[in-house]
Amino acid sequence: MNGLSGTERAALHDFALRARRLLLEDIAALLEGEYGLHADGTLEPENNLPNLAEDAQARETYLRLQAYLESGKERGHSLGEAVQSLIKEAAFTWLNRLVAFKMMEIRGLLPETLGRGTESAGFKYFLAEEDEAYALYLQGRVDDAYRRFLLHQSARVAQDLKVLFDPDSLASRLMPRPRTLREVLALLNAPALGPAWQAEEAIGWVYQYTVEEDKAEVFERLYRQKQKISKQDIAPATQLFTPNWIVRFLVHNTLGRLWLQMHPDSRLRERLDYFVPPVEPLPSRPPMPVKEITLLDPACGTMHFGLVAFDLFYEMYKEELERAGEPGWPQQPSVAREEDIPAAILEYNLHGIDIDLRAVQLAALALYLKAKSYNPQARIRQTNLAVAGVHPLDGHRLRAFLAHFQEDRPLLERLLTTLWRRLEDAEWLGSLLRVERTLQELIAVERQRFLPLFAGLDNEFEREAVEAEYWTILEARVLQALDEFVRQTAADDPTQTFFVGEAVRGLRLAHLLLNRYDVVVTNPPYMSRRNMSRDLANLLAEEYPEGKGDLYAAFILRCLELTGRDGYVGMITQQSYMFISSYEHLRQTLMEQCVIETMAHTGPRAFDEISGEKVNTTAFVLRREPDPARREAHRGVYFRLVHQPDGESKRRAFEEALAAWNQRVEDAAHG
């Protein structure tokens, strides 16, 4: 896949920064002017806002704002911080939605929605079908009619992309006003951006550029004002777009390698242009249906790793569909038809977690567009993405929820109160949060109530499987209760929708963290301990003493935990864990659990966005190996790329070295 040109990226950069400023200013003015919510968190009394009495939707939004501020106080945030957080969430949600509409319409997935603004063909079709909107249009209230159209389109797309187009979210109610919307559409529709919207990687660059100013502010405070990085600053401070060739190297040598272990004669080998042949033949592995192979990116950003993995999974499903029933292949394919493959990949195979809602929204969009590129009629039933920042469920809303379910109350109360005490740290730790330990403690109590379910499970992996299954049962009961609760209470108290949304978000995160995966691949956040706030540093030292020196080191340990018994880990991290004495115990842990299949030691300047020698990186693939003798005998394949001056020259040097290694392996095979 060819990357965006420098000119196209420059155009995206200009668009993202200008659109960001317009939307942030507009949402702030909207909150103050329409709802009486000021920057310091002061919310004017309802009787000071006569427009609320005239507009039921506006009054409901006002009540939702009250609930949001209360939740912020419960989390220990100042009211001013809560308002700024909401402004950013609403502004970036609408920016992401507009980008999504643009990328969908140029792919023919939606009728023209933004291309000519209120002259767009999709808007004209909408007016022909919606009498109320047409009446507004005839009255000269074109902007109001167009607003209804965009909300209609949002609700339509929400069936497949709820995390971005969720009609129940507070951000949905804070739509930019007409003047700002017109200005943003003019930027979005600029001819210079036309080619960029055709490229799937544009999504990742939009995210990187929209957090650019936040990142600059964080480092201004860190280096000039000597302030440590706070929890709300972790996402922008650590965001970094991974070069495509490094993503391919890691995915081809984890997911691709796993597939070749099961199917040595697979034609997929021809597509794995970055696959590094092992020194010794790959150990065989029993075949498993494709839909049972799972991949997680625990710091997913906009799911760049998942997009590359999607293409491999697609070929794996196709090959299984053609060869099912042959020796060494499942008797039945995972899907009945090739058209079913895209939705199956999103439902069964790809999983992602991030601490930043903006990133998860764009990750969902990227996977949606990828699925639709294979089958425009694909019906997306489920995606497995979770955002780690969850509002706590306590106080009167939790009590109100529990009061509706007296029969199940003891179970629900134990589960939710125990789980949410732990999830309060999720916005700091993200995937590093070992929520499964809390759940295992809870399940241990429940085990006494359901002893037959857990009888005779001495094996660690059998026990994990049954605990995961039992959690699925518990989760389903809670989700059913939440759904029933919102149906019963939403009419009387619209703020309960916010409560339920946070509960579902927390359950989804817990679900992903309880599972174990065949492949875990990521570019984790890099943050030295000396730059962390005291709370974050202490939390990391308590949870990951061997990796407390940097977030990336803790992620190495966590990725191993999230990987199944003989699964793969692929990462690009700082190189320091390989050398310095403070990581000696971490290195020992790696040596006791896994082998290194391959490594590309990229050194400095692997990322074009980072100049100088400050970030020295290495990309590597680990395989968990429980047999000590095999670990001792294993030899990996290593590429030294530390002297090339930039990312592009490192890529070329790697490809040349890989070609030489392939030739050497082929010559050896032919004697």
More confident residue, 593 or 421: 593
What is the length of the chain? 671
CA atoms of 236 and 88, how far apart (whole Å): 12
For the chain, domains (ranges, CATH) are 14-195 (no CATH), 244-381+515-604+612-669 (3.40.50.150), 395-513 (no CATH)
Checking if the pLDDT of 2 tops 60, the result is no
Looking up tokens 């890529």 gives 651
CA atoms of 628 and 668, how far apart (whole Å): 28
What is the identity of the amino acid at 282?
A: L
Residues 6+ apart with CB under 8 A from 611: 605
**Confidence band (pLDDT; 50, 70, 90) for 515?**
confident
- pLDDT tens-digit profile of 583-624? 999 999 999 999 999 999 999 988 876 655 578 999 999 999
- pLDDT tens-digit profile of 455-472? 555 555 555 556 566 666
Distances (CA, A) of 292 to 316, 321, 322, 329, 507: 12, 15, 18, 14, 22
Are 650 and 625 in contact, with CB atoms under 8 Å apart? no
Checking if the pLDDT of 1 tops 60, the result is no
Instruction: State mean pLDDT over 20-39.
Output: 96
- pLDDT tens-digit profile of 388-415? 866 555 556 666 666 666 555 676 677 7
C-alpha torsion sign, points 631, 632, 636, 641: positive
Three-state secondary structure along 456-475? Answer: CCCCHHHHHHHHHHHHHHHH
Instruction: State mean pLDDT over 115-132.
Output: 95
Instruction: State mean pLDDT over 230-240.
Output: 71
Q: What is the mean pLDDT of the chain?
A: 86
Specify the pLDDT at position 535. 83
Checking if the pLDDT of 447 tops 90, the result is no
**442-457 per-residue burial string, b: 16 or more CB within 10 A, e: under 16:** bbeebbeeeeeebeee
CA atoms of 40 and 30, how far apart (whole Å): 15
Per DSSP, the chain holds a count of helices (H) and strands (E) of: 29, 8
Instruction: State mean pLDDT over 102-106.
Output: 95
Specify the pLDDT at position 508. 79
The neighbour count for residue 109, using CB atoms within 10 Å, is: 17
Instruction: State mean pLDDT over 350-354.
Output: 95
Residues 6+ apart with CB under 8 A from 423: 390, 392, 433, 435, 506, 509, 510
Share of the chain above pLDDT 70, in %: 83
More confident residue, 122 or 394: 122
Specify the pLDDT at position 563. 96
**Confidence band (pLDDT; 50, 70, 90) for 514?**
confident
Q: Which of 49-53, 214-218, 396-400, 654-658 has the highest mean pLDDT?
A: 654-658
Specify the pLDDT at position 608. 72
Are 293 and 258 in contact, with CB atoms under 8 Å apart? yes
Checking if the pLDDT of 100 tops 90, the result is yes
The model's pTM is: 0.88
Residue 620, H or E segment: strand 616-624
Checking if the pLDDT of 83 tops 80, the result is yes
